């Protein structure tokens, strides 16, 4: 992609669903942030559940150190409003704009128009073969053909994570129905701590999900042995990772109950039945005792109405 951007201001990653386009875009965007460049991320698909997922992506990326680079995540169209907001807020007149899951080339043409108002490079991911209509703004299209589990392995290895097998990556990807950077964090944990109780729990949950159960209250409660998850005082750290990064919601309930009853780490936590990934709106208190890293808690629950004692 670096070579493409040396020639063109636009680059397209195209491939079928699950081929690794978003993995590549996230990895590249993060690298550019590390080098100090600002990045704007815009979801372009019409999926009904995309907004919350991309909000979580924004929060996830914002937790990663990226030197002087900053991230702006846009959740809605139209494009020109997003671009105007980026410029007006001084996020940068030279930045990388990532358009994920572009469905219509007319959307890209809007970017070409707005491009005259701000200096940016545009990285596009799409399932379609885009044919540029503006000869002055050529689009370099790069095919992405990796199966999702192979893309997962490649992504983890590129971030210097312990090497995992394709089979493990597939299991982890299925268990952690999340966006790339969060998959990376959860997978790093699970690849080292994929104990039998966790496997049993995730298997039971997956069976219920296959039945299209929508009420977390009726998911099976599987007893998780805290001793099998971690030793010494690292339990708080590891359970917080699970609470933050794993899907579905019910894992909050099972782990919080287990945590309160056996580890006595948290008190005064309401049932989190309908909460997704990171608590966002509801006020609640978490009392943390003997915590290794208060900063970790602040990062995990960033943006929520959380009181730490």
Distance, CA of 34 to CA of 224 (rounded, Å): 38
Query: Tens place of pLDDT for every residue, the chain, 309 residues?
Result: 887 777 777 777 876 555 667 767 777 877 777 677 767 666 666 553 444 444 444 444 444 444 444 444 444 344 444 455 555 544 445 677 777 777 766 655 555 555 445 567 778 887 665 544 444 444 445 655 444 444 444 444 443 344 445 555 455 444 433 333 333 343 344 444 444 444 454 555 556 556 665 544 444 333 333 333 333 334 333 443 344 333 333 333 333 333 334 333 333 333 222 233 333 323 233 333 223 334 433 443 443 333 333
Phi, psi of 43 (to 5 degrees): -80, 135
Q: Write the CATH number for 74.
A: 3.40.50.300
Residues 266 and 187 in one domain: no
Query: Are 101 and 45 in contact, with CB atoms under 8 Å apart?
Result: yes
Residues 12 and 61 in one domain: yes
Q: Which parts of the chain are beta strand (E)?
A: 10-14, 38-43, 71-74, 94-100, 119-126, 140-143, 284-286, 306-308
Query: Are 168 and 193 in contact, with CB atoms under 8 Å apart?
Result: no
Cβ burial 48-62 (10 Å sphere, 16+ → b, else e): eebeebbbbbbbbbe
Residues 82 and 135 in one domain: yes
Residues 233 and 189 in one domain: no
Distance, CA of 172 to CA of 184 (rounded, Å): 9
Helix axes 196-210, 166-175, angle to 10 degrees: 60
Task: Please state the domain count of the chain.
Answer: 3
Position 102 scores a pLDDT of 75
Residues 17 and 141 in one domain: yes
Residues 243 and 189 in one domain: no
Residues 83 and 175 in one domain: no
Position 119 scores a pLDDT of 63
Residues 255 and 166 in one domain: no
Domain final residue pick, 104, 123, 145? 145
| Enclosing domain of residue 167 | 147-194
**What letter does residue 28 receive in the DSSP assignment?**
H
**What letter does residue 89 receive in the DSSP assignment?**
T
Distance, CA of 296 to CA of 194 (rounded, Å): 22
Helix axes 196-210, 250-258, angle to 10 degrees: 150
Position 1 scores a pLDDT of 81
Residues 37 and 61 in one domain: yes
């Amino acid at each position: 992609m670096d070579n493409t951007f040396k020639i063109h201001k636009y680059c397209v990653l195209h491939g079928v669903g699950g081929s690794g386009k978003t993995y590549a875009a996230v990895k590249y965007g993060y690298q550019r942030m590390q080098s100090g460049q600002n990045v704007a991320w815009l979801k372009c698909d019409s999926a009904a559940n995309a907004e919350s997922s991309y909000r979580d992506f924004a929060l996830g990326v914002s937790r990663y150190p990226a030197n002087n680079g900053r991230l702006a995540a846009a959740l809605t169209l139209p494009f020109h409003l997003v671009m105007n907001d980026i410029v007006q807020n001084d996020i940068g007149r030279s930045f990388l704009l990532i358009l994920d899951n572009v469905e219509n080339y007319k959307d890209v043409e809007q970017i070409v128009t707005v491009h005259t108002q701000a200096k940016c490079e545009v990285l596009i991911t799409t399932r379609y073969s885009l044919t540029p209509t503006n000869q002055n703004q050529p689009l370099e299209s790069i095919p992405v053909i990796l199966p999702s589990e192979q893309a997962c392995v490649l992504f983890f290895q590129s971030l210097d994570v312990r090497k995992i097998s394709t089979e493990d990556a597939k299991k982890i990807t299925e268990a952690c129905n999340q966006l790339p950077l969060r998959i990376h964090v959860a997978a790093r944990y699970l690849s080292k701590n994929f104990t039998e109780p966790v496997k049993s729990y995730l298997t039971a949950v997956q069976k219920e999900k296959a039945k299209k159960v929508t009420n977390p209250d009726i998911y099976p409660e599987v007893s998780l042995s805290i001793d099998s998850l971690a030793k010494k005082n690292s339990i708080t750290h590891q359970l917080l990772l699970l609470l933050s990064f794993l899907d579905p919601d019910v894992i909050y309930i099972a782990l919080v109950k287990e945590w309160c009853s056996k580890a006595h780490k948290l008190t005064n936590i309401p049932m989190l039945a309908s909460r997704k990934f990171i608590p966002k709106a509801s006020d609640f208190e978490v009392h943390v005792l003997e915590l290794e890293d208060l900063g970790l808690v602040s990062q995990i629950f960033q943006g929520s109405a959380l009181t730490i004692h």
